[in-house]
Amino acid sequence: MGTKVAIFDSTLRDGAQAEGISFSVEDKLKILTLLDDHGIDYIEAGNPGSNPKDLEFFARASSISLKHSKLAAFGSTRRRDIRVENDDNVQSLLLAATPVIVIFGKSWDFHVTEIIRTTLEENLNMIRDTVAFFKSKGKEVVYDAEHFFDGYKASPEYAVKSLQAAVDGGADSLVLCDTNGGSFSSEVGEIVRKMVSLFDLPIGIHAHNDAGMAVANSVMAVENGARHVQGTYIGFGERCGNANLSTIIANLGVKRDYDCLPAGEYRHITRTARHIAAISNVAINERDPFIGNCAFAHKGGMHIDGVNKASSSFEHIDPELVGGQRRFLMSEVSGRRMILDKIWEVDASITKDDAVTDSIMKRLKELEHEGYQFEGAESTFELVIRKQLGKYRPFFELEHFKIIGEQPANGEYGSSAIIKVKVDGKSEITAAEGDGPVNALDSALRKVLDRFYPELSNVHLTDYKVRVINGRDATAAKVRVLIQSTDGDSVWTTVGVSTDIIEASWIALVDSIEYKLLKLEEARVLA
């Protein structure tokens, strides 16, 4: 086991400040349990005094027996010129009843004099008094030195004094914050190394990503002695986001010999990231290192050939170490071997000389001529192969659907869909409204299928793309629709082509649902 590095997740607090994020109490409780199961050391969840939602969260979280994680509440030092016992914000942190309290204070003299407008000495008293107050209550206190790197560059002596004030108050760890996210890795490494030499307490790093270096700065801090890393699990947060913990953990724990998670949990990094994304209702950047769908995707024939011979030729780690999956993309540069590999995934007994192999090749060329593109839509490609091999059966049959669009007096355009579907000889008809015709059609189809296939309840669309294929035909042009779906664990993409955007969307939507049902059926057979 390597050197221990404590992982501190602030998705429930810092992450909640990201644009477009709004956690319910249930969302926060789900993420809390997910991170605890994953083996995260600290989970910071906000301030119970800041809003009723956080107050309810901490009240309900207190009844959850965490297996690994320590839950933390977050707040600032006392206000200027007031006794700590009389500060309502400080007192509110006790309502959380958490074993850990995170206190942030000012380490940049500019912020002290110009933002909170107090004296440099009073700021040090505020830090010392607040930390000491929570230590007297038996709490573990993590001190976050806000704007530390900017403060150190402006006045090294005062920045160090701010840390010493926290030490004098009894802090258990000192976290250096790159709050504006503009520091360079060389600066971070040098400053962290100096602080490690000055203080006996564990030194931590809290990096923001405004210059695109939050992960690099966090790793650099660890390599220079930091033993506590803060961030959000998939990197979202205020402005450009926080340090992405999934990337940091994979780099430190898989590529280096640091102890960040329980031994078996590194293989769950991708799954955990996708679960958090699903709960948060955000789409993972598919080009994110380690967890993105493109992280281990190969397209060029030479690259694919190299990976097949020796994966390390074009992959820096084995994808399975972080729960990822190697993908070979279908394209004009993939080669015949790539297509054969896909056929063998469905039926290993097929040879390159079988007649069915030629029929599959012919069918693929026909579809590509029609405008289909299977790069990034391997799920539809697999269904094409299955149909050609006779290893496909439809799970439902569309009898008809009707889309109604209208713009009422209030000017807000809306759509409704009426759909009739047959499953196992039974016909069902239903209707649904949606934000546009495709959303209405999706909602109506799910209403019907949920009765027959309740497993689809956790499947939702995460991306929808439309590409005009032959723009010269103007409004009569063909369109290619790509739909990306997830069940929280895996991600798959399907494609449909038509001169009618709704029909193209329907084709891709049906493939998406049938692909999921097919995988569920295969899993039941194997079980």
Please give the full DSSP string across 428-442, using - where no structure is assigned: EEEEEEESSHHHHHH
CA–CA distance, 308 with 325 (Å, rounded to integer)? 14
Mean pLDDT to the nearest integer, 397-422: 81
User: Where are the chain's structural domains?
Assistant: 6-280, 297-389, 397-526
**Higher-scoring residue by pLDDT: 503, 328:** 503
Contact 273, 247 (CB under 8 A): no
Q: Residue 428 above 60 pLDDT? A: yes
User: Which residues have CB under 8 Å from 320's CB, separation 6+?
Assistant: 267
pLDDT, tens digit (0-9, with 9 covering 90-100), for 206-237? 999 999 999 999 999 999 999 999 999 999 99
* pLDDT tier, 141 (very low <50, low <70, confident <90, very high otherwise): very high
**Higher-scoring residue by pLDDT: 526, 371:** 371
Contact 203, 228 (CB under 8 A): yes
CA–CA distance, 445 with 430 (Å, rounded to integer)? 8
User: pLDDT at position 476, please?
Assistant: 59
Q: How far, rounded to the nearest angstrom, does the alpha carbon of residue 25 sit from its chain's CA centroid? A: 19
Mean pLDDT to the nearest integer, 101-129: 97
User: pLDDT at position 219, please?
Assistant: 98
User: pLDDT at position 333, please?
Assistant: 45
User: pLDDT at position 409, please?
Assistant: 54
State if pTM tops 0.85: no
DSSP conformation letters of 310-346: -GGGT-SS-GGGGT---EE--STTS-HHHHHHHHHHH
Q: Residue 334 above 60 pLDDT? A: no
Q: Residue 414 above 90 pLDDT? A: no
pLDDT, tens digit (0-9, with 9 covering 90-100), for 454-476? 888 888 888 888 888 765 555 55
**Higher-scoring residue by pLDDT: 449, 41:** 41
CA–CA distance, 481 with 463 (Å, rounded to integer)? 10
Name the least confident of 77-91, 141-155, 219-233, 326-340.
326-340
Q: Residue 300 above 70 pLDDT? A: no
Mean pLDDT to the nearest integer, 509-517: 92
Domain 397-526 class, CATH top level? alpha beta
Summary mean pLDDT of the chain: 89
SS (H, E, C) 239-250: CCCECEHHHHHH
Q: Residue 427 above 60 pLDDT? A: yes
CA–CA distance, 434 with 416 (Å, rounded to integer)? 6
Reduced to 3 states (helix: H, G, I; strand: E, B; else coil), residue 25 is: helix
Mean pLDDT to the nearest integer, 387-414: 81
Mean pLDDT to the nearest integer, 97-126: 97
In the 8-state DSSP scheme, what is residue 254? I
First to last CA, the chain: 35
User: pLDDT at position 332, please?
Assistant: 45
DSSP conformation letters of 38-94: HT-SEEE---TTT-HHHHHHHHHHTTS--SS-EEEEEEEPPPTTS-GGG-HHHHHHG
- Architecture of the domain made up of 6-280: Alpha-Beta Barrel (3.20)
Question: Which tokens belong to 189?
Answer: 């490494």
Reduced to 3 states (helix: H, G, I; strand: E, B; else coil), residue 305 is: helix
CA–CA distance, 295 with 285 (Å, rounded to integer)? 10
Mean pLDDT to the nearest integer, 364-368: 82
Q: What percent of the chain has pLDDT over 90?
A: 56
Q: Residue 285 above 80 pLDDT? A: yes
CA angle 10, 12, 18 (to 5 degrees): 90
**Higher-scoring residue by pLDDT: 493, 43:** 43
CA distances from 402 to 344, 360, 460, 475, 501 (A): 39, 34, 22, 21, 14
User: pLDDT at position 298, please?
Assistant: 74
Mean pLDDT to the nearest integer, 434-462: 86
CA angle 16, 265, 253 (to 5 degrees): 85
pLDDT, tens digit (0-9, with 9 covering 90-100), for 162-209? 999 999 999 999 999 999 999 999 999 999 999 999 999 999 999 999
User: pLDDT at position 322, please?
Assistant: 94
Mean pLDDT to the nearest integer, 427-434: 88
Mean pLDDT to the nearest integer, 346-375: 81
Mean pLDDT to the nearest integer, 390-409: 83
Identify residue 458 by its one-letter amino acid code: N
Q: Residue 73 above 90 pLDDT? A: yes
Contact 496, 508 (CB under 8 A): yes
User: pLDDT at position 462, please?
Assistant: 81
